Amino acid sequence: AQSVAQPEDQVNVAEGNPLTVKCTYSVSGNPYLFWYVQYPNRGLQFLLKYITGDNLVKGSYGFEAEFNKSQTSFHLKKPSALVSDSALYFCAVRGTTTGNQFYFGTGTSLTVIP
Amino acid sequence: GAVVSQHPSRVICKSGTSVKIECRSLDFQATTMFWYRQFPKQSLMLMATSNEGSKATYEQGVEKDKFLINHASLTLSTLTVTSAHPEDSSFYICSARGASGSDRTQYFGPGTRLLVL
């Protein structure tokens, strides 16, 4: 079965500090992993993805994520948080042996404190 | 990047009426489109997957006669909520994916807030 877990419902971080939003996955075969951000009353915006290649993936707005196969994790990171990064973040996985379906985590609400 | 639009962004309707939501891929051809439903502070729930020119595939528990999906072209999919009831009030989000290849990214529309009175 395919699934994604985001263990933290809420993450608070001070502006300028590094941030991490955690994600672990379970999938048959090689995973395609994604991070999306959602601002209030808006759809999801694509941040970055891991398909293959380097384990460290760089994406939009200074975000990056590290694919760790042994720990089945794909944590989202940013070296220096901005207040404007405050939003809801979703991790998603699509297994290569499944159909088109994405499996989303439950989301992590990030609050960057000025 | 790929842009997906949804119309309307917000709709209020009376119970018993039908509401149509449009999802368009603006700068790419979407061979597959997805419709999601999101409740407040919850994750996205996939309702159905549609491929251009064929019938949609509905997830378990989603009534296909209530949520009619049409994917008539490579740039347009519509979701019609028939005989809407207050419990259908939700945030509906579509996403679109291009032709096959290494890219499996789904690009999301801005969502449609439906309120049924």
**Residue B101 pLDDT > 60:** no
Max CA distance (Å), chain A: 44
Q: What is the pLDDT of residue A8?
A: 95
B43–A106 C-beta distance less than 8 A: yes
Residue B104 contacts A where some CB pair is shorter than 8 Å = yes
Q: What is the pLDDT of residue A12?
A: 97
Residue A10: which H helix or E strand, with range?
Answer: strand A10-14
Band of pLDDT at residue A2, cut at 50, 70 and 90: confident
* DSSP output for A40-72: TT--EEEEEEE-SS-SEEE-GGG-EEEEETTTT
Distance from CA of A56 to the nearest CA of B (A): 17
Buried b (16+ CB within 10 A) or exposed e, A17-32: eebebbbbbebeeebb
**Residue A101 pLDDT > 80:** no
Band of pLDDT at residue A95, cut at 50, 70 and 90: low
Question: Region B31-45: what's the mean pLDDT?
Answer: 87
**Residue A98 pLDDT > 60:** no
Most A CBs within 10 A among B44, B46, B57, hence the mutation to make, goes to: B44
Q: What is the pLDDT of residue B102?
A: 52
Which pair of structure tokens corresponds to residue A107? Answer: 């989301």
- Are B2 and B23 in contact, with CB atoms under 8 Å apart? no
What's chain A's length in residues? 114
Question: Region A49-63: what's the mean pLDDT?
Answer: 92
Mean pLDDT, chain B, integer: 90
**Residue A16 pLDDT > 70:** yes
Most A CBs within 10 A among B106, B112, B115, hence the mutation to make, goes to: B106
- What phi and psi values does residue A83 have, to the nearest 5 degrees? -60, -35
Interacting residues of B53 by C-beta distance below 8 A, sequence separation 6+: B71, B72
- Alpha-carbon distance of B41 to B43, in angstroms, equals 7
